[in-house]
Structure 1
Amino acid sequence: MPRAEALPLDRAARGWALAAAAACLLPLLPQLPAAIAWGCAGAGVLVALAGRHRPLPGWLRIALALCLFGVVLSISRFSLGRDTACALLAAMLAIKPGELASLRDARSLVGFALFAPFSTFLLDQGPLSLVLGLLGAVVALAALAQLSERESGEAARVAPRQRLALVGRLLLVGLPLALSAFWLFPRLGTPLWGVPERALARPGLSDEMAPGEWLDLMNDERPALRASFSGQPPPQSQMYWRGPVLMDYDGRTWTRARRFEALPPPEVEPARARWRYEMVLEPTERRTVVALELPDAAPQAARLSWDYTLEARAPLVSVSRWRMDAAPPRRFEPRLLPFIRESALRLPDGFNPRTVALGRQWRRELGSTGDAAIVERAMAMIRAEFGYTLATPLPGRHSADEFLFEWKRGFCEHFASGFAILMRAAGIPSRVVTGYAGGTRNPIGDYWIVRNQDAHAWVEVWLDGRGWVRVDPTAAVAPERIYDTIDDRASGGGFTALPGVGPMLDVGDWLRRGWNDMVLGFDAARQVAMLRPLGLDGAGWRGLVGLFAASALLALAWMLWLTARADRGGDRVLAAWRRLGARYARLGLARAPHEPSLQWARRVAALRPADGGALLALTERFENWRYAPRATGADPASLIRDLRRHRPARTARPESSP
């Protein structure tokens, strides 16, 4: 039989190897930037077509590799992260088919391709990624089976359906052990290691807000959080999910004032209304935990900063669950520290002269005690003159002047920034708060979905006696002046506008929520809660190890039983063969452990010619059944019958003289 490295590939073997590579690459591509994903997919197709007759030259493969690596690194801005590493893996897998020539090359391609579905879970752990990853693993196992059959010369006799059925049985054998490891292996409260951060940040709230940056976020329909309320939820108009608070302004970008991080949370007097809720956050790679205004206290795994922003103690790299109480503030930091007041009034020199002049004019007209009146005058101006639209140009140097005096149209980013600058010019401490506003109720699971497109920015102004007060200038725009929103753009004849699509999306999100609860959210606390009805919640890690070991032994027993059941016909043949050997062993003609079956039969035939012919024929049939059943058409039923019937003579017949 030729060695694997010398055995050429036929059309079927090559097709299975390429199918396995494509199936394994499929779950990884949606998690990569679109340019990289399309580039890798296109390169893979071109390389497979160009190398269908002979491998590509080495210089060409090197050039393709350098080109793809350059594209990946340039898109990732030459920053290394786990998304960059996964993109490089996809690029290498795309050009790997260019060296397919022998059976060994095909096995190398399939083995290398199996890294792709596993690396997908470094970027996404959703159910679609799992299904596509399992599909890739199944096709890869089937391809390895086909390559083994090609090496043995039996590939032409095995139908693809039989090959896939074999892979299915293999998965069924290992499933109990996999479930035991997932449900019963001790879960750690905190991981022993971490994974590198992404080189390219996904859309989401950040510690800064610059002109034009929010359009990508507001076009992202992916969920940011899901919340379930205990009791009556707050009105949708009061669902403000507080995120980063931006205090510093340099004339273009609002940023967080990290220099105040050592300060304790300020004094807050909550109002009578209170809401208790459970929130599941999607991973953001950041530490900020958005929360309904205002959280009563920080959960155990987070802390409240000086500006009442919740921050997790570790980056949110996976789905996380939070239980909190919230209440709107009656008074929020009624005593403002001088250096915080100074930061909340600071404006850079040389920016927005008309806005600064207007704010100072209002202060002169309304006097030193007219803070609330100035706020109301600004809100009245917005209600009367301003409109909401996403179709705005990028601002120039004087962004607030352009918005307040020329455009008079924009979205939350423009309203919040321009309003805060105007308030500071009038001598009123102000800051921009970013987060989410509102949400959509899913009637199937009775919970609220807040999506990235619900991102919002509003303003907090400091008023004497009340402290920080939320002011949302975007919400002051009259309904007849709303010209263009995300919903308007998305619903103009799109897929979501079709009848019946809304309930389907609700069902899909409800299923995804269940996946988050049962799989991604299964941590140490959930494991203890699962074992509590069995009285095992206090067993500790030693008890869990013992429980897992017992379940693993049961799973291994299941594997052995299935294996024996699948080969029970073969067991009957082997049992009949061993009983035949035992009959000859009683006559002193036992087969030595190192002796091949046919050699033993020839030795017995030389000593007992009367039995030799029948024994040799049975031995040949047994070996054909054992090692080449499809090639010889061996019938196990007739072989078992003849093995059981054969009996050696009690005494040997005398050999005739030559």
Structure 2
Amino acid sequence: MSDRARLPPLNPTARNWALLTTALALLPLLLQLPGMLAAVFAATALLVALLAWRRPVPLPLRLLLVATMLLAIYWQMGASPGRDTGCALLAAMLAIKSSELRSLRDARSLLGFALFAPFAAFLLDQGPGTLLLSLAAVICALLGLQHLADAETGAAPQTVALQLRTIGRLLLVALPLALSAFWLLPRLPTPLWGIPERAIGKPGLSDTMAPGQWLDLMADDSPALRAQFAGAAPPPEQRYWRGPVLTRFDGRTWTRLESQRRRPPPAMTAGPAQWDYQIEYEATERRELVALDLPLAAPDQTGLDADYTLVSARPLATLTRWRLRSAPPGRFQPALPPDLREATLQLPRGFNPRTLALARQWRRDAGNDDAAIVRRAMQWISRDFSYTLSTPLPGRHGADEFLFDWKAGFCEHFSSAFVVLMRGAGIPARVVTGYAGGTRNRYGDYWLVRRMDAHAWAEVWLPQRGWTRVDPTAAVAPERIRDTLEDRLARGNSAGGGLDMGARWLQLAQAGDWLRRNWNGLVLSFDARRQQRLLSPFGIERLEPAQLVGLLAAFALVAVIAMAWLLARGERERDPLLRAWRRLDRRYARLGLGRQAHETAGDWAARVEALRPGSGLVLLSQRFSDARYAGASSDLASLLRDLHRHRPQPGVPTGART
């Protein structure tokens, strides 16, 4: 007989707990993977669980499932290694792990393996939702392990409520040690090792812009950044969040100019208005940051290139906070270097002949007045163009098709065609990408900028002024930066005096984002600087690493001693029935009626009943004796409940009366 055949079999209850734990552990991980891949994993896990319910899944079928899962990962993520690739492999293995679920040992192995999934999910997201789902998976795993232990020993299963109370006490015992480690374990300002990047980057700004590339980004309503201003917020026409500047054009794709990355920022005279603010920038896996147009200086761990684009020193793999000051420029690079002038006038040969012919005509009409050409283009756009996301992909002559055929599009089309038109007229121009606008959160008094607020505009170089921002999209779609759906819902609510469904959804979404921001501030942003100032309310301005280690050791020692005492106490009284009976004895002992060492349960109950008639202890002791010694435990849950609830009757013992 094989070793596996001699293993204790798995009863249906224990199997259900193991499968439920696996599902809960997979859920937070699947929510962070691409939707199609997550659906494949979920369907595979369900199929394997059904197939393995009666008999083991054959080895050829398991190998086929493994190959299918690997192909699905390659299809969605390619061959590039990364955090999400590793998490996808873990999810795939866990989805087919239940095919081996035959014995108690298999169930324990599955529960232990399943707990890797929620912890892996934290590599992709550290939000409160992931934490709550992971906590549910951990609790379910502990319940499953308890069922496996009962099945192996043959003990009568306890009620779920009683098991949850036991698990809750265990978690509370461990909580002080966990909090001590979180608050006091010395944190380094930079990690000891690099966190692997993701194989699939999140939608966000990049250093290229090609036709159709922005559609996915503009359909993503997840947060890109949150900004809180010290003082008044800038007006809508100044809420442009500057990102990568794209100069090179090959007829289809715009890219950054590499020489600008290595140059220092050029001269800029700030305008009278200035804004002091802090941004919380969501993880993008890239290095490019955004700042209100234009940043006056680069914060620590960042650099400011010649395009006034902020670049982080390392990939933005987690939520980061930055303190910034910005001001609209009065004069921005009034002297243009010859090589940069040439690059910002460059156009590939053989593209957009109609656009170039129109630009030459406008140059002849305007003479040397560059500003007149810019105004003429904006008037034309305002008069004849419309804004829409429903546009076909352009052909070879994209600017011609947009300006003369479609006359409709979104910011990607407007900015690209406008810059081509300006360059054709001899005006240096370039595309600037970033975000525009933002929505004020009424609960936290901050501005939320979502990825769908991604925007592209133009900068033209004018004599005496330098680079000047021109947004051709705003000529036909001013609501993009001056009005949003949320603003309209809010105005409709205040005007109508009632809440429609849209306004209610807006309030709920704003409250949820406010909670997420507070979570970011309390947990995700607890860094080395905040840790050093942990005791500042008590007059200790800075904690050195040695002090943190000492505090951690002291708190950990207290926590470990408390854990050891509680666990040892539980070890001494492993039987919950005996534990409840002894607690009952202690209640009577406080009244001088405790059980003597030589007394049986029945004798003690009879003595108490004689002294305090109507105590009800005789019947309770008989039920205890039957359950403890006669094996009559069919109503164990009810007996435990009655033992916990029983209290001595008030009054004077009969033996004390005169």
TM-score scaled to structure 1, two decimals? 0.83
1:509 aligns to what? 513
Quick one: structure 1 residues 147 and 629, their matched pair in 2 at CA, closer, same or farther if it must change by over 3 Å?
Answer: farther
Instruction: Find out whether 1:563 has 2:564 as its counterpart.
Output: no
- Residue-by-residue CA offset, 1:302-331 (whole Å, 9 max, x unaligned): 110111000111111111111111110000
Q: Aligned with 2:31: secondary structure?
A: helix
Quick one: structure 1 residues 59 and 480, their matched pair in 2 at CA, closer, same or farther if it must change by over 3 Å?
Answer: closer
Question: Shift in Å at residue 157 of structure 1?
Answer: 2.8
1:179 aligns to what? 179
AA matched with 1:53: R
1:243 aligns to what? 243
Q: Aligned with 1:526: secondary structure?
A: helix
Q: Aligned with 1:345: secondary structure?
A: coil
2:303 aligns to what? 303
- Residue-by-residue CA offset, 1:605-656 (whole Å, 9 max, x unaligned): xxxxxxxxxxxxxxxx99x979x997999x99x9xxxxxxxxxxxxxxxxxx
Question: Shift in Å at residue 91 of structure 1?
Answer: 1.0
AA matched with 2:542: G
8 Å CA contact retained: 1:387, 1:481: no
Instruction: Find out whether 1:527 has 2:531 as its counterpart.
Output: yes
Instruction: Find out whether 1:545 has 2:549 as its counterpart.
Output: yes
Instruction: Find out whether 1:151 has 2:155 as its counterpart.
Output: no
1:468 aligns to what? 467
2:292 aligns to what? 292
2:53 aligns to what? 52
2:604 aligns to what? none
2:14 aligns to what? 13
- Between the aligned partners of 1:132 and 1:458, the Cα distance in structure 2 is 41
1:600 aligns to what? none
Q: Aligned with 2:72: secondary structure?
A: helix
Instruction: Find out whether 1:218 has 2:218 as its counterpart.
Output: yes
1:135 aligns to what? 136
Alignment of 1:579-598 (within 5 A): none
1:200 aligns to what? 200
2:407 aligns to what? 408
- Between the aligned partners of 1:289 and 1:476, the Cα distance in structure 2 is 27
Alignment of 1:438-453 (within 5 A): 438-453=437-452
Question: Shift in Å at residue 565 of structure 1?
Answer: 6.0
8 Å CA contact retained: 1:4, 1:103: no
Question: Shift in Å at residue 184 of structure 1?
Answer: 1.1
1:643 aligns to what? none
1:312 aligns to what? 312
Question: Shift in Å at residue 284 of structure 1?
Answer: 0.8
Quick one: structure 1 residues 173 and 163, their matched pair in 2 at CA, closer, same or farther if it must change by over 3 Å?
Answer: same
1:269 aligns to what? 269
Question: Shift in Å at residue 563 of structure 1?
Answer: 3.5
Moved more, 97-106 or 255-264: 255-264
- Between the aligned partners of 1:528 and 1:207, the Cα distance in structure 2 is 37
- Structure index of larger Rg: 1
Question: Shift in Å at residue 498 of structure 1?
Answer: 3.6
- Between the aligned partners of 2:213 and 2:486, the Cα distance in structure 1 is 19
AA matched with 2:403: L
2:113 aligns to what? 112
AA matched with 1:262: R
Alignment of 1:635-646 (within 5 A): none
AA matched with 1:149: D
- Between the aligned partners of 1:553 and 1:496, the Cα distance in structure 2 is 56
Question: Shift in Å at residue 568 of structure 1?
Answer: 7.6
- Between the aligned partners of 1:302 and 1:570, the Cα distance in structure 2 is 58
Identity of aligned residues (%): 56
Q: Aligned with 2:315: secondary structure?
A: coil
8 Å CA contact retained: 1:5, 1:103: no
Question: Shift in Å at residue 570 of structure 1?
Answer: 7.0
5+ long unaligned stretches in structure 2: 491-498, 583-623, 644-658
AA matched with 2:260: F
- Residue-by-residue CA offset, 1:97-131 (whole Å, 9 max, x unaligned): 11111111111111111110010011111110110
Quick one: structure 1 residues 632 and 290, their matched pair in 2 at CA, closer, same or farther if it must change by over 3 Å?
Answer: closer
TM-score scaled to structure 2, two decimals? 0.83
Quick one: structure 1 residues 345 and 486, their matched pair in 2 at CA, closer, same or farther if it must change by over 3 Å?
Answer: farther
AA matched with 1:163: Q
8 Å CA contact retained: 1:5, 1:104: no
Question: Shift in Å at residue 556 of structure 1?
Answer: 1.8
8 Å CA contact retained: 2:533, 2:540: no
8 Å CA contact retained: 2:438, 2:450: yes
Question: Shift in Å at residue 501 of structure 1?
Answer: 1.8
From 518, 524, 538, the equivalent of 2:522 is: 518
- Residue-by-residue CA offset, 1:342-384 (whole Å, 9 max, x unaligned): 11110111111111111122112222x2111111111111011
- Residue-by-residue CA offset, 1:80-110 (whole Å, 9 max, x unaligned): 2111111111111111111111111111111
Q: Aligned with 1:194: secondary structure?
A: coil
Question: Shift in Å at residue 480 of structure 1?
Answer: 11
Question: Shift in Å at residue 539 of structure 1?
Answer: 3.3
1:647 aligns to what? none
Moved more, 452-461 or 94-103: 94-103
AA matched with 2:11: D
2:390 aligns to what? 391
AA matched with 1:546: G
Question: Shift in Å at residue 423 of structure 1?
Answer: 0.5
Q: Aligned with 1:525: secondary structure?
A: helix
8 Å CA contact retained: 2:534, 2:543: no
- Between the aligned partners of 2:539 and 2:150, the Cα distance in structure 1 is 50
Question: Shift in Å at residue 564 of structure 1?
Answer: 5.5
- Between the aligned partners of 1:145 and 1:122, the Cα distance in structure 2 is 29
Alignment of 1:415-494 (within 5 A): 415-477=414-476
8 Å CA contact retained: 2:474, 2:480: no
Quick one: structure 1 residues 189 and 181, their matched pair in 2 at CA, closer, same or farther if it must change by over 3 Å?
Answer: same
Q: Aligned with 1:26: secondary structure?
A: helix
Instruction: Find out whether 1:28 has 2:29 as its counterpart.
Output: yes
2:41 aligns to what? 40
- Between the aligned partners of 2:36 and 2:373, the Cα distance in structure 1 is 49
2:352 aligns to what? 352
Question: Shift in Å at residue 561 of structure 1?
Answer: 4.5
- Between the aligned partners of 1:423 and 1:396, the Cα distance in structure 2 is 21
8 Å CA contact retained: 1:389, 1:485: no
AA matched with 1:46: L
Quick one: structure 1 residues 3 and 555, their matched pair in 2 at CA, closer, same or farther if it must change by over 3 Å?
Answer: farther
Question: Shift in Å at residue 444 of structure 1?
Answer: 1.0
- Residue-by-residue CA offset, 1:162-215 (whole Å, 9 max, x unaligned): 223222221111111111111111111111112111111111011111111111
8 Å CA contact retained: 2:533, 2:542: no
- Between the aligned partners of 2:6 and 2:407, the Cα distance in structure 1 is 72
- Between the aligned partners of 2:500 and 2:312, the Cα distance in structure 1 is 35
1:121 aligns to what? 122
5+ long unaligned stretches in structure 1: 578-620, 639-658
Quick one: structure 1 residues 499 and 487, their matched pair in 2 at CA, closer, same or farther if it must change by over 3 Å?
Answer: closer
Number of aligned residues: 582
- Residue-by-residue CA offset, 1:42-69 (whole Å, 9 max, x unaligned): 1111110111001100110110110111
- Residue-by-residue CA offset, 1:242-289 (whole Å, 9 max, x unaligned): 011111111111111123322111101000101111111111111111
- Between the aligned partners of 1:519 and 1:194, the Cα distance in structure 2 is 21
2:232 aligns to what? 232
AA matched with 2:81: L
- Between the aligned partners of 2:65 and 2:574, the Cα distance in structure 1 is 51
From 543, 554, 563, the equivalent of 2:558 is: 554
Quick one: structure 1 residues 534 and 5, their matched pair in 2 at CA, closer, same or farther if it must change by over 3 Å?
Answer: farther
Question: Shift in Å at residue 487 of structure 1?
Answer: 8.4
8 Å CA contact retained: 2:240, 2:434: yes
- Between the aligned partners of 1:479 and 1:262, the Cα distance in structure 2 is 35
- Between the aligned partners of 1:113 and 1:152, the Cα distance in structure 2 is 24
Quick one: structure 1 residues 397 and 566, their matched pair in 2 at CA, closer, same or farther if it must change by over 3 Å?
Answer: same
Q: Aligned with 1:130: secondary structure?
A: helix
Quick one: structure 1 residues 149 and 253, their matched pair in 2 at CA, closer, same or farther if it must change by over 3 Å?
Answer: same
- Between the aligned partners of 1:315 and 1:32, the Cα distance in structure 2 is 20
